[in-house]
Structure 1
Amino acid sequence: MLETKPHPEWQYLDLMRRIWTEGSERRDRTGVGTRSIFGATLRYDLSCGRMPLLTTKRVYWKTATREMLWFLTGDTNIRVLCQQGVQIWTDWPLDKYRRETGEDISREEFSDRIVKSAEFAKKWGDLGPVYGKQWVDWPTYEPVGEGAYRKGSGINQVAQVIESLRTNPGSRRHIIEGWNVAEVDQMALPPCHKTYQFHVADGRLNCVLYQRSCDVALGLPFNLWSAALLQRMIAQQVDLDPGEFVWMGGDTHLYLNHASLVEEQLSREPAGAPILEIIGRPDTIFDYRIENFEVQDYAPQGALKAPIAV
């Protein structure tokens, strides 16, 4: 009898079960509390269009894709996301607005103000130098004499990695880093998915993502899709086949108020094999649009919701 490989999604479910049953209960920054383990690894084969898109609940892959495309612009204001109906970053500036003004505004009304008023968005919608700013415009400073410095040209890490993959594929320095120690305190949320490293072997592009902090129930499904998407786009740009995507987590946790989601999802079984097709080939990594992506054979079970911890 031929042995069949287990569905790749079991890795995710086994990790969720391990955290929920064996994780240490810890107090955390949000005050909600978590069950947590330290150090976890998931591996996914991205050949033949495969993607780590969960089937035991609906993952809104277009939302995650729009976020990734936004990162690649270097923008740090939520206005463009809100204009597309993407609210995954809205809670942080909303929380700041409520604290500083005392106005108990709804997220929907806050997002609507962000969309309608560029001035309001400029004042309240910026997240600080988060992901995209570090990825495509890492700050530099040049000496001008007598101990003074001026701002230099920003470093586009994404463009540099693509160039190095083309010209020096055997390098061990194909890295995109989001953790800028000098600017962490200015960010609405320091980068969780912080370090991407790429590796070329046998005509295939592999990727490792190290994530310092991971909300397994809400964040990880998006993180898996987004990182694999970035890997797929870069592979296309450098004429390599997608290889293996490896996810590595530091503080890997479930929030205590996510019990109903966790228990329901663990009662489900994965099924199906979603495929991502990239339509066309844009001139650069920065020219992809949502219309370039199409998911086939995705029939997930129902959506599962839980409160986000800010």
Structure 2
Amino acid sequence: MSNSEQTYLQLLKYVLEHGTKKEDRTGTGTISVFGYQMRFDLSEGFPLLTTKRVPFRLIASELIWFIQGDTNIRYLLQHNNNIWNEWAFKRWVESTVYTGPDMTNFGLRSQTDSAFAADYNEQMELFKQKVLTDDRFAEEFGELGNVYGKQWREWKTSQGDTIDQLKDVVATIKQNPDSRRLIVSAWNPEDVPSNMALPPCHTMFQFYVTNGKLSCQLYQRSADIFLGIPFNIASYALLTNMVAHECGLEVGEFIHTLGDAHIYTNHMEQIKTQLNREPGTLPTLALNADKKSIFDIAMEDLSIENYNPQPAIKAPVAV
């Protein structure tokens, strides 16, 4: 049984037992705690949950998208990754260009109204095809603004310059591994109000080197425990492995610090199902040793081995 998976399952139990009911931006409702920390020893295996299938392909393609500084969902759609669709779709259906059926509050309505869900699915498919095939449409409506990749790779300064935070941090790890400034921030107060489809939930991360091992701590301001957190754990574990590979280090820990850690009220049955399952053995990560830089790694350079999870558990996304 994996200590890593037990760490995550304990978070589920803790919030169920100690969480407070809160309203939220999406109108769904949550139970929430403020302030929680988990630690994952990356040497014991890759922390991809086994009590439900978590799609590594989606995690890897999203992370590569971040690392490349991309902010348009076209790359994700080209890799059959739909996890950012709703936020781009929202911009389209709220624009003056959109002429289809009323999509107001589509996130909740599509869960409870089958007739509306059919209209929503039709419009979403139309939207995806237009992003994939129409360059002008993709440029306007596939774009999410200055979200993660933009902040990681091209942070705007008051002098009109840009800072490549991720590139600088990797270089510093190589040159001065004892630095206490190995930080990348996605939270840009100037861009949050107007230039982001969704303000960053995982707001900043810091690397730490000791005894030839690289560790990473993430601060996450808002944590969707059932759907989002399993992705975040695996994504930052993958990032830590990739940076360690480039810097000639072993992997240490991933430390995950949560601000508002919440369970959406429409995920309760799914969580009960998951907690009734027995964790299995963690898989291992295979990374193409010929790729020396994280900026050169592509999807075909990453794979998960010996992953034998229990079936996926579907749940609605709150938008």
Shorter-chain TM band: over 0.9
SS in 1 for 2:267: helix
SS in 2 for 1:171: coil
Gaps of 5+ in 1: 143-150
Which residue matches 1:174? 182
Which residue matches 1:70? 65
Which residue matches 1:117? 134
Q: Does 1:7 align with 2:19?
A: no
- Is the CA contact 1:128–1:187 (under 8 Å) kept in the aligned structure 2? yes
Which residue matches 2:54? 59
Which residue matches 1:155? 163
Q: What does the per-residue CA deviation read over 1:158-210, in whole Å, with 9 as the maximum and x for residues that have no partner?
A: 11101111111111000011001111111011111111100110010111011
**In 2, Cα distance between the equivalents of 1:112 and 1:260?**
34
Tell me by how many angstroms 1:47 deviates.
1.8
**In 1, Cα distance between the equivalents of 2:234 and 2:85?**
20
Which residue matches 2:12? 16
**In 2, Cα distance between the equivalents of 1:67 and 1:114?**
17
SS in 2 for 1:9: helix
Tell me by how many angstroms 1:84 deviates.
1.3
| Number of residue pairs the alignment of both structures matches | 296
- Is the CA contact 1:174–1:199 (under 8 Å) kept in the aligned structure 2? yes
Q: Does 1:269 align with 2:278?
A: yes
- Is the CA contact 1:236–1:281 (under 8 Å) kept in the aligned structure 2? no
SS in 2 for 1:28: coil
SS in 2 for 1:41: strand
**In 2, Cα distance between the equivalents of 1:13 and 1:197?**
25
Which residue matches 1:208? 217
**In 2, Cα distance between the equivalents of 1:31 and 1:102?**
25
Tell me by how many angstroms 1:103 deviates.
2.1
In structure 2, the CA distance between the partners of 1:292 and 1:6, relative to structure 1 (3 Å rule), is: closer
**In 2, Cα distance between the equivalents of 1:102 and 1:19?**
42
- Is the CA contact 1:170–1:200 (under 8 Å) kept in the aligned structure 2? yes
Q: Does 1:307 align with 2:316?
A: yes
Tell me by how many angstroms 1:102 deviates.
5.0
**In 1, Cα distance between the equivalents of 2:284 and 2:67?**
23
SS in 2 for 1:214: strand
Q: What does the per-residue CA deviation read over 1:35-80, in whole Å, with 9 as the maximum and x for residues that have no partner?
A: 00111111111126x2110000000011110000000111111111
- Is the CA contact 1:195–1:209 (under 8 Å) kept in the aligned structure 2? yes
- Is the CA contact 1:215–1:254 (under 8 Å) kept in the aligned structure 2? yes
Q: What does the per-residue CA deviation read over 1:10-34, in whole Å, with 9 as the maximum and x for residues that have no partner?
A: 1111111221232100001111010
Aligned partner of 1:103 among 80, 84, 100: 100
Q: What does the per-residue CA deviation read over 1:251-308, in whole Å, with 9 as the maximum and x for residues that have no partner?
A: 0001001122111111111011211111223242210011111211110000001110
Specify the code of the residue in structure 1 equivalent to 2:24: D
- Is the CA contact 2:38–2:257 (under 8 Å) kept in the aligned structure 1? yes
Specify the code of the residue in structure 2 equivalent to 1:115: L
Which residue matches 2:145? 128
**In 1, Cα distance between the equivalents of 2:231 and 2:4?**
16
Which residue matches 1:289? 298
Specify the code of the residue in structure 2 equivalent to 1:243: G
Specify the code of the residue in structure 2 equivalent to 1:203: G
Aligned CA-pair RMSD: 1.3
Tell me by how many angstroms 1:6 deviates.
5.7
SS in 2 for 1:250: strand
Normalised to the residue count of structure 2, the TM-score between the two structures is 0.90
SS in 1 for 2:236: helix
Gaps of 5+ in 2: 102-121
- Is the CA contact 1:34–1:254 (under 8 Å) kept in the aligned structure 2? yes
In structure 2, the CA distance between the partners of 1:281 and 1:196, relative to structure 1 (3 Å rule), is: farther
Percent identity reads 43
Specify the code of the residue in structure 1 equivalent to 2:137: F
